Amino acid sequence: MTSRERVRRAMRFSGPDRIPILFFNKDKDQSDIVLVDVVRHFMGPKKDRSEWGFDWERRDDTMGQPKSVLIPDWEALDMLAGPDAYDAARFDDFETARLQYGDDKYYCASLVLTGFTVMSALRGFSASLEDLCIDRENMERLADIVFGFENAVIARAAENGFDGVAFFDDWGTQETLIISPALWRDFFKPRYKHQFERAHACGLDVYFHCCGFIEEIIPDLIEIGVDMLNLSQPNLYDMEKIGALYRGRVCFVCPISYQTTSITGTREEIFSEADRLIRNLRTQHGGFVGYVEEYHSIGMSDENYRSCIDAFRELGA
């Protein structure tokens, strides 16, 4: 079974030969899913500039934060020169990846950072939260620009032969959504629905990444068409409850918790968490993808990195 077929069978609950594994930032030759960046958020020798025009500031090896906002007032929005979705070089890395990893992988066009995450980088996080409540009209204008650019890239990704498209938009704190579920459903849900329908119409599957605790909107994401849901902090959830409610309705993509177990846990604890994820989220016909990311920047040891790989391989066989 090729990686592409394995992922599709897991996602569509049609019996993969084993649990697929996504290697995010290392050992991609071993990954069933290969994410290829099609938006350039980390450009230049220091990878500190986004093609949206803002620069990153870092104090360590993590992604960092925008140094300054590009839209300090709404007059600046009229002068915002967004990226060119039709840049001829946008998909060059895809051809390089196919030559390196082969044609049998499942290739996902990664938009890297999307939706509200980009909006808040351009406008500023606090100002964006305030303006969602007090200046809806201008936030609508900004959303139209950001989501409009992504929609154009989605169509182009399909034309270039990708299998899926990956969205990365963090909506959770450690305990709840960043905004109220009602506001999220009113402002953002229709925009995501349009994007996901567009992706599906183009023949692309939808991968959606979200950090934080987003239990309140999981049914919404399933309803509007997410095929693979990457819950990146499983330590925040009651996985028995999540499995009881949503197993078999969406393909979950989960790591060993990289706030806790994968960083400070023993090999036995890593295997125990992998077992808990698989038992609760996978059906007998599929519905689960293991996720592995090398996280030395927050203290992951080489030993724990290897243990995460071994856990998904051995328990997912």
**CATH number of the domain enclosing 261:** 3.20.20.210
Answer whether residue 144 shows pLDDT above 90: yes
Mean pLDDT of 86-110: 96
Answer whether residue 88 shows pLDDT above 90: no
With H, G, I as helix, E, B as strand and everything else as coil, classify residue 24: coil
**Local confidence band at 5 (pLDDT 50, 70, 90 cut-offs):** very high
**Domain encompassing residue 135:** 3-315
pLDDT for residue 303: 98
pLDDT tens-digit map of 44-77: 999 999 999 999 999 888 889 999 999 999 999 9
Q: What is the number of structural domains in the chain? A: 1
pLDDT for residue 61: 83
Alpha-carbon span 207 to 196, nearest angstrom = 9
Answer whether residue 294 shows pLDDT above 90: yes
pLDDT tens-digit map of 157-178: 999 999 999 999 999 999 999 9
pLDDT tens-digit map of 227-272: 999 999 999 999 999 999 999 999 999 999 999 999 999 999 999 9
pLDDT for residue 36: 98
Mean pLDDT of 21-31: 97
- CA distances to 35, 96, 153, 244, 256 from 25, in Å: 9, 16, 22, 31, 15
Top pLDDT among 41 and 62 is at 41
Answer whether residue 187 shows pLDDT above 90: yes
The contacts of residue 146 (CB under 8 Å, 6+ apart) are 82, 114, 115, 118, 119, 122
Alpha-carbon span 194 to 200, nearest angstrom = 10
**Local confidence band at 28 (pLDDT 50, 70, 90 cut-offs):** very high
Contact 114, 148 (CB under 8 A): no
The contacts of residue 43 (CB under 8 Å, 6+ apart) are 49, 50, 51
Alpha-carbon span 223 to 189, nearest angstrom = 10
CA atoms within 13 A on the CB side of 312: 26
Helix, strand, coil tally for the chain in percent (to 5): 45, 15, 40
pLDDT for residue 238: 97
Alpha-carbon span 165 to 109, nearest angstrom = 5
